[in-house]
Amino acid sequence: MMRRAASGVACALAAGVLFAGCGGSSGSGSAVPVNDVALVDGTPITVSQLVTTMNVARLSMGASYPEPGTTDWVSLRSRALEALTHDAELRAWAHNLGVSVSASAVDAAVKQTLAGAFPGKAKGSIDQAKVKAEFKRTGMTNELLRHRIETKLLSAAAAAKVGGSPTVTDAQVLAQYTKDKKSTYSQPERRKVRHILVKTKALADQLYAQLQASDARFAALAKQYSTDSSGKTAGGDLGVVSRTSLVKPFADVAFSEPVGVVSKPTQSQYGWHLIEAEGPVIPASTQPLDAALKKTIRSQLVEKARQKHIADQFDAAVNQLSANIKFAPGYAPAISTTQ
């Protein structure tokens, strides 16, 4: 039996890529109607759905689309069927949970999707000519789009029903904070800095001589001469930078010079710098685990636990559904040994 990874629900909720790496359960049998290629818990996957899905793949792949009948083509068709099977499993999961979405909700979601991708002149309207052209280019159909959006809504509703509200203890919050303290909640020394970067010491000396008396032309000279992108776009302004983000020769000068004093030319692996600190050194700091941060971390842990619970529930449902998935002869996906 092929097992789907726990990320199956996430793949469905993304609902944008035909082959998103989501697998399919496998089974075999001949009790499948002639116009269908599979039955999932009694719900058919039709030949028409598979043909449309393969057409989307053909137009997307262009010249790399394999010749029909070849091993590569059969493999591609198998992956297309796995994607359709995955959708059918999600829909069956929702149905068995007693979850449904109204036709009007699907209509609204379809309209919102098309209006966002192909906006018309009036607010909230759809440029139907662009929709038609895009569907022709990609092989998308109204039926397939509606089916995908309905599946997305159903899977979201099912996830909401089983997700619950996991409990996260203070100890778990503290443990997560401790784990992420250095990487997420600590900041090294910082300072507001600007610089001019040039290739030669001769040019750096020339610019330094112009700036010794006054730094009034610093931005203009940076825009004219600096080879760093910050020179052209921001007059050499790097904003507030951390010591650890800078190469050592630059950092040593940037974090030792007085405010408003242009440094003598300093060499790094990138060239010659004229550096000016525009503000005091901001000491290294660590964000305390106060009430606001506790709330943020708790919310993150609750959502992580919720997503895991949803994935586990869906995997359990797939295990049950597998016994009721039948494929027409020649269509069953290859058996996977992964668990």
Domain 8-166+300-327 belongs in CATH node 3.40.50.300: no
End-to-end Cα, the chain, rounded Å: 9
Outline which parts of the chain fall under CATH 3.10.50.40: 186-285
The per-residue pLDDT for 324 is 83
The pLDDT assigned to 333 comes to 66
Q: Please state, in angstroms and rounded to a whole number, the distance separating the CA atoms of residues 112 and 124.
A: 8
Residue 97: its pLDDT value, please? 96
CATH dotted code for 186-285? 3.10.50.40
Each residue's pLDDT expressed in tens, for the chain with a length of 339 residues: 333 443 433 333 333 333 333 333 444 445 888 889 999 998 889 999 999 999 999 999 999 999 999 999 999 999 999 999 999 999 999 999 999 999 999 999 999 999 999 999 999 999 999 999 999 999 999 999 999 999 999 999 999 999 998 999 999 999 999 999 999 999 999 999 999 999 999 999 999 999 998 999 999 999 999 999 988 889 999 999 999 999 999 999 999 999 999 999 999 999 999 999 999 999 999 999 999 999 999 999 999 999 999 999 999 999 999 888 898 988 876 654 444
Q: Copy the structure tokens of residue 211.
A: 């700036």
pLDDT, residue 34, reads 87
Burial class (CB in 10 A: 0-12, 13-18, 19+), 86: buried
pLDDT of 20? 30
- Range list for CATH 1.10.4030.10 in the chain: 8-166+300-327
Strands 325-327 and 285-286: unpaired
Reported in sequence order, the residue ranges of 34-122 that DSSP labels E, i.e. its strands, are 36-40, 43-46
Provide the strand spans (E) within 237-320: 237-242, 266-268, 271-277, 285-286
Distance of alpha carbon 192 from alpha carbon 254, whole angstroms: 9
Cα–Cα dist 158/179, whole Å: 33
